[in-house]
Amino acid sequence: MSGFGLQEIAGIVGGTIRSGATSLLNPTIQTIAIDSRTIADVHSCLFFALRGVRHDGHAYVEELYLRGVRSFVVCEPVDTAIFQDAVFIQVDDSLHALQQLSAAVRAQYHYPVLAITGSNGKTIVKEWLYDLLHQSVKIVRSPKSYNSQVGVPLSVWNMSDQFDLAIFEAGISLPGEMEKLAAVIQPTIGIFTNIGEAHQENFSTLAQKLEEKLKLFEHCNTIIYRKDQLEVDRLMHALYGNSDKKLLAWSASELPADFELQMTVGAASTRIEYRWKEQAFAVQVPFTDSASLENIGHCLAFILASDYDCDAVRRAFARLQAVAMRLELKQGINNCLLINDYYNSDINSLTIALQFLRSQALNERRPRVLILSDIEQSGFSDEQLAEAVNRLIVAYGVGRLIAIGSGFYKCRHLFGPNAHFYQTTEAFLAAFQPADFKNEHILLKGARDFRFERIAALLQKKYHQTQLEVDLNNLVENLNRYRAQLNPETKITIMVKAFSYGSGTVEIARALEFQQVDYLAVAVADEGLELRQAGISTPIIVMNPEEHSFEMMLEYQLEPNIYSIDLFEKFDQAARRMAVTNFPIHLKLETGMHRLGFSSPDELNEIAERVPRAGRLRIQSVFSHLAASDSPEHDEFTREQFGVFNRLSAPVVANQPNKVIRHILNSAGIERFPEFQMEMVRLGIGLYGVSQSDALQAETVARWSTVVSQVKKVKEGNTVGYGRKGQVEYPKRIAIIPVGYADGYDRRLSNGAGRVWIAGRQYPVIGNICMDMTMIDVSGADVQPGDPVELMGEHIRLTDLAQWMGTIPYEVLTGISQRVRRVYVQE
Ligand SMILES: *Cc1c(COP(=O)(O)O)cnc(C)c1O
């Protein structure tokens, strides 16, 4: 929102303008972008081509030019002659330039700027401060959890003179990063939430990490932190005790502090008493857990330190709600797809939600519908707001807008014919007709006061309450952790066979395509076809190609795993019939698994000779599979497999016109034998949350849950379930849950072998598991119908469940039946 011209920007970032057309230097820049997919307004946008380990923004310059973008910041030479009327600002480091530009935007404003850092709670403290204060102060804040080297400058760019307070979060994972964020944010006041173990791996000690984080506050005049964290207190004083900064330490314990809170925790809420300026006050908050109470302590300290304390703000504490930062993807009625995001409604988060909508709808022709509540506190006039929304609607291909709230209703004349208006959510609900929504992608985006969950309840397809929630953020996190084990140039194939290990094929493939993985591997050709029909264009390997699908594979660019000479002949014939050239195939070598694969050097030599001569096919890769990469006792055998692979593959690789990719490592192999990564690896179970080493610690991706249907008392002497296996020796309370072996809740979990998690505790299965129901012994606990039950997730680990069943995690995941609906969540 800076309104800087390009010439000015070049000066700010120390860049050189390279362009034939100086007359074009006049337009002012309204938006900046780093991701080619997010650009809405091509004319006033400045694109920063960032160079990452995996991404290179320079690769998109041409595409963006064709779409009409004319202003770029680059750090690689560009042939300006082919981009005739474009302007390039050439710099040494385009990320640094982005940060410099945002720092210049920041320097224009003189209202308070709060920076929040720490290991946990940054986003929640920021969002809660917004909730508590937005009635009294106009606040600009980081969207979602934008707190990185890229996220911070993008957040700060949104500052303008329409606001009175800025709140930005800052997060780092490497030494040296915080100084850069501090230079962009230039905070006047800081909150340090807490220190934990997150991202420890890149720092030698906790103190080093802490010291690095505290650099954010170098130029603040006030710093808020919690006295009870003694290490933080010590270092804060060591670093800043002798400066003119005001250190405002609060405590909720007996420790004397600048600001002391008395917290009385009740059943469902907590009363917080404090004294300020000689007076006693109290607030009530609807939380009892220590993490939430700590976040609230920080909010309260900031509000007092900044003199925002008043009756209205104190009352607002009672209305705080858990921060749901996630976008949920659900199956809707009438073959619709529903994206729920009803935590807040502002232009930034609307843009992010629209990006998610578009990434889901990529290459699909289903129309897009946006149901949007009034935009809070935009700082814009009605006309400006309408213009902004109209621009986003066009940019993200939304065909139909349903706007709810008196704000939009007032200015409905500013919208086109495909917009519909309701004064309230109730008015919309009263008029709702299910038949109005068919085969569409629907984004529900609203501020919390509008309670769009009532709309979601109508639009959502009704299933039984059992679901498998797949966390796409953790999936991507796991991908990145495995990538970090590898050399940057090593390619990666993701195994999405068997419905992506039970997690769902198309949605997972979309998320992976977005992350630019090199290959996807499916079990059979039909799985590949489904991905192609959903618009996935990443290369796909079919592990078990069947003769009847060869022509379809050739047509849809599905590349076969060739494991025998017979299979090769048949595929080669199909290739001749279809008259293809240079079609990639993958040769599987037998090295010790004794499953599929070539073991004869003669057969391999024959193929290696024939393929380039005929020109129909191309040996894209040679690979093999490890039999026991996760078992240290077989490491010698595993090393022999590598040896066999090298001997068999060397002649094949040597005699091809193209560079043949070699690969052998699966998930455990990547962790345990990175020295054998060669040109590619194949990641499977690790992506879905099962890793070997503590160092990597893959995050939980799938959470399987249900709710209690009924709770009953059973008198002693009775039995529970089929076969009378569940003995009741003393009076018991039994909870019935609507999940059984037909859902994949394995019968081997019967009679106490398995446990579930309800309201903070594990409870055992009692009796035999039925087809659609299971009984849980909840004696002595206050479990009620409707209580959520975790079958697998954070508390009941996938590996525990596998152990209880006497099997491996692979079988648990792939055994969860298709009737359990999959729900995808993403921040
Ligand atoms: C399933 C599979 C993998 C992935 O194995 P994980 O142990 O899940 O990482 C790799 N390669 C082949 C050939 C596979 O079939």
Nearby residues of 788 by Cβ (< 8 Å), 6 or more positions away = 705, 706, 707, 758, 759
Strand (E) or helix (H) holding 188: none
Question: Phi/psi of residue 384, each to 5°?
Answer: -65, -40
697 lies in some domain: no
CA within 13 Å, CB half, 815: 19
94 and 113 in a single domain? The answer is no
Cβ-contact 355, 37 below 8 angstroms: yes
588 lines ligand 1 (CB under 6 A): no
Ligand 1 centroid vs 567 CA: distance in angstroms? 21
Residue 246 — very low, low, confident or very high, per pLDDT cuts 50/70/90? Answer: very high
Residue 2 has pLDDT above 60, yes or no: no
190 lines ligand 1 (CB under 6 A): no
CATH code of residue 37: 3.40.1390.10
Tokens read off for 429: 């609900």
CB atoms within 10 A of CB 201: 12
Task: Give the atom of ligand 1 at the shortest distance from the alpha carbon of 669.
Answer: 9
Judged by average pLDDT, the poorest of 133-137, 420-424, 649-653 is 133-137
Mean pLDDT within 25-36: 80
Residue 266 — very low, low, confident or very high, per pLDDT cuts 50/70/90? Answer: confident
496 lies in some domain: yes
Ligand 1 centroid vs 394 CA: distance in angstroms? 43
First vs last C-alpha separation in the chain? 25
Question: When comparing pLDDT for 463 and 102, which is higher?
Answer: 102
User: pLDDT value at position 675?
Assistant: 95
Residue 453 has pLDDT above 60, yes or no: yes
Ligand 1 centroid vs 242 CA: distance in angstroms? 58
357 and 292 in a single domain? The answer is no
Q: Smallest Cα–Cα separation from 126: which of 50, 187, 70? A: 187
667 lines ligand 1 (CB under 6 A): yes
684 lines ligand 1 (CB under 6 A): yes
635 and 720 in a single domain? The answer is no
User: pLDDT value at position 668?
Assistant: 96
215 lines ligand 1 (CB under 6 A): no
Residue 24 has pLDDT above 70, yes or no: no
Tell me how far apart the alpha carbons of residues 147 and 126 are, in angstroms, rounded to a whole number. Answer: 11
Output the CA–CA distances (angstroms, integers) from residue 96 to 149, 209, 746, in the order listed: 9, 22, 54
Residue 433 — very low, low, confident or very high, per pLDDT cuts 50/70/90? Answer: confident
Task: Give the atom of ligand 1 at the shortest distance from the alpha carbon of 667.
Answer: 9
Residue 14 has pLDDT above 90, yes or no: yes
Task: Give the atom of ligand 1 at the shortest distance from the alpha carbon of 630.
Answer: 7
694 lies in some domain: no
The DSSP symbol for 413 reads G
Residue 825 has pLDDT above 90, yes or no: no
User: pLDDT value at position 760?
Assistant: 83
Mean pLDDT within 335-342: 87
Tokens read off for 55: 């991404």
Residue 272 — very low, low, confident or very high, per pLDDT cuts 50/70/90? Answer: very high
Ligand 1 centroid vs 609 CA: distance in angstroms? 29
CB atoms within 10 A of CB 218: 17
Residue 22 — very low, low, confident or very high, per pLDDT cuts 50/70/90? Answer: low
Mutate which of 492, 682, 798, 808 for ligand 1? The one with the most ligand atoms within 8 Å of its CB, which is: 682
76 and 185 in a single domain? The answer is no
Residue 200 — very low, low, confident or very high, per pLDDT cuts 50/70/90? Answer: low
Residue 495 — very low, low, confident or very high, per pLDDT cuts 50/70/90? Answer: very high
Tell me how far apart the alpha carbons of residues 763 and 746 are, in angstroms, rounded to a whole number. Answer: 16
Tell me how far apart the alpha carbons of residues 622 and 585 are, in angstroms, rounded to a whole number. Answer: 9
Query: pLDDT tens, 94-151?
Result: 999 999 999 999 999 999 999 999 988 899 999 999 999 988 899 999 987 889 999 9
Ligand 1 centroid vs 366 CA: distance in angstroms? 34
Tell me how far apart the alpha carbons of residues 137 and 152 are, in angstroms, rounded to a whole number. Answer: 22
CA angle 819, 823, 827 (to 5 degrees): 170
Tell me how far apart the alpha carbons of residues 270 and 281 are, in angstroms, rounded to a whole number. Answer: 14
359 lies in some domain: yes
Structural domain boundaries enclosing 263 = 109-319
Mean pLDDT within 298-312: 94
418 and 333 in a single domain? The answer is yes
Q: Whose CA is nearest to atom 10 of ligand 1?
A: 666
CB atoms within 10 A of CB 477: 14
Mean pLDDT within 502-512: 91
584 lies in some domain: yes
Query: pLDDT tens, 662-672?
Result: 999 999 999 99
158 and 232 in a single domain? The answer is yes
Task: Give the atom of ligand 1 at the shortest distance from the alpha carbon of 493.
Answer: 10
Tokens read off for 776: 């849980």
Q: Whose CA is nearest to atom 6 of ligand 1?
A: 684
271 and 290 in a single domain? The answer is yes
User: pLDDT value at position 697?
Assistant: 86
**Is 180 annotated as catalytic?**
no
Residue 80 — very low, low, confident or very high, per pLDDT cuts 50/70/90? Answer: confident
User: pLDDT value at position 193?
Assistant: 95
Nearby residues of 166 by Cβ (< 8 Å), 6 or more positions away = 109, 111, 112, 113, 114, 139, 140, 141, 156, 159
Residues in the chain: 827
Domain final residue pick, 462, 489, 522:
462
Cβ-contact 273, 280 below 8 angstroms: yes
Residue 463 has pLDDT above 60, yes or no: no
The 3-state DSSP composition of the chain as helix, strand, coil percent (nearest 5) reads: 35, 25, 40
Of all residues in the chain, the percent with pLDDT exceeding 90 is 65
CATH code of residue 334: 3.90.190.20
Tell me how far apart the alpha carbons of residues 519 and 537 are, in angstroms, rounded to a whole number. Answer: 10
CATH code of residue 226: 3.40.1190.10
Mean pLDDT within 496-504: 93
Ligand 1 centroid vs 499 CA: distance in angstroms? 14
- Torsion angle of the four alpha carbons 687, 693, 699, 702, in this order, in degrees rounded to the nearest 10: 60
CATH code of residue 717: 2.40.37.10
682 lines ligand 1 (CB under 6 A): yes
Ligand 1 centroid vs 536 CA: distance in angstroms? 21
Task: State how many domains the chain has.
Answer: 5
Cβ-contact 497, 527 below 8 angstroms: yes
CA 15 to chain CA mean position, Å: 34
666 lines ligand 1 (CB under 6 A): yes
Tell me how far apart the alpha carbons of residues 555 and 546 are, in angstroms, rounded to a whole number. Answer: 15
User: pLDDT value at position 468?
Assistant: 94
Mutate which of 666, 678, 799, 810 for ligand 1? The one with the most ligand atoms within 8 Å of its CB, which is: 666
478 lines ligand 1 (CB under 6 A): no
Residue 366 — very low, low, confident or very high, per pLDDT cuts 50/70/90? Answer: confident
Task: Give the atom of ligand 1 at the shortest distance from the alpha carbon of 497.
Answer: 1
Domain final residue pick, 319, 337, 367:
319
Q: Smallest Cα–Cα separation from 368: which of 456, 460, 454, 437? A: 437
625 lines ligand 1 (CB under 6 A): yes
Q: Is 595 annotated as a binding residue?
A: yes
CB atoms within 10 A of CB 724: 11
The answer to whether the pTM exceeds 0.75 is: no
Nearby residues of 270 by Cβ (< 8 Å), 6 or more positions away = 263, 264, 284, 285, 287, 288, 293
Task: Give the atom of ligand 1 at the shortest distance from the alpha carbon of 588.
Answer: 13
652 and 730 in a single domain? The answer is no
Cβ burial, residue 671 (10 Å; 0-12/13-18/19+): buried
Task: Give the atom of ligand 1 at the shortest distance from the alpha carbon of 688.
Answer: 8
User: pLDDT value at position 560?
Assistant: 98
Question: Phi/psi of residue 122, each to 5°?
Answer: -60, -50
Query: pLDDT tens, 522-560?
Result: 999 999 999 998 889 999 999 999 999 999 999 999 999
Ligand 1 centroid vs 359 CA: distance in angstroms? 27
Residue 364 has pLDDT above 70, yes or no: no
User: pLDDT value at position 522?
Assistant: 97
Tell me how far apart the alpha carbons of residues 731 and 319 are, in angstroms, rounded to a whole number. Answer: 41
681 lines ligand 1 (CB under 6 A): no
Question: Phi/psi of residue 564, each to 5°?
Answer: -155, 160
Cβ-contact 634, 626 below 8 angstroms: no
104 lies in some domain: no
Q: Whose CA is nearest to atom 13 of ligand 1?
A: 625
| Amino acid in position 337 | L
**Is 563 annotated as catalytic?**
no
- Torsion angle of the four alpha carbons 455, 458, 459, 465, in this order, in degrees rounded to the nearest 10: 110
Q: Whose CA is nearest to atom 12 of ligand 1?
A: 625
CA within 13 Å, CB half, 77: 2
Tell me how far apart the alpha carbons of residues 341 and 278 are, in angstroms, rounded to a whole number. Answer: 43
Task: Give the atom of ligand 1 at the shortest distance from the alpha carbon of 682.
Answer: 10
Mutate which of 478, 491, 495 for ligand 1? The one with the most ligand atoms within 8 Å of its CB, which is: 495
330 lines ligand 1 (CB under 6 A): no
| Amino acid in position 168 | F
Mean pLDDT within 41-63: 86
Cβ-contact 338, 442 below 8 angstroms: yes
457 and 487 in a single domain? The answer is no
747 and 625 in a single domain? The answer is no
Ligand 1 centroid vs 636 CA: distance in angstroms? 20
495 lines ligand 1 (CB under 6 A): yes
Domain final residue pick, 99, 130, 155:
99
Query: pLDDT tens, 710-763?
Result: 899 999 988 888 888 888 888 999 999 999 999 999 999 999 999 999 988 999
Question: When comparing pLDDT for 14 and 68, which is higher?
Answer: 14
Cβ-contact 178, 215 below 8 angstroms: yes
Tell me how far apart the alpha carbons of residues 151 and 626 are, in angstroms, rounded to a whole number. Answer: 40
586 lines ligand 1 (CB under 6 A): no
Catalytic residue among 497, 519, 563, 688: 497
Ligand 1 centroid vs 666 CA: distance in angstroms? 5
Q: Is 280 helix (H, G, I), strand (E, B) or coil?
A: strand
Ligand 1 centroid vs 701 CA: distance in angstroms? 18
User: pLDDT value at position 460?
Assistant: 85
57 and 129 in a single domain? The answer is no
| Amino acid in position 345 | S
Output the CA–CA distances (angstroms, integers) from residue 772 to 469, 764, 817, in the order listed: 19, 17, 12
User: pLDDT value at position 260?
Assistant: 94
Mean pLDDT within 306-311: 92
Ligand 1 centroid vs 683 CA: distance in angstroms? 7
- The string of DSSP codes covering 122-179 is HHHHHHHHHHHHTTTS-EEE-STT--STTHHHHHHTT--TT-SEEEEE---SSTTHHH
685 lines ligand 1 (CB under 6 A): yes
Q: Is 771 annotated as a binding residue?
A: yes
Residue 55 has pLDDT above 90, yes or no: no
What mean pLDDT value characterizes the chain? 90
518 and 403 in a single domain? The answer is no
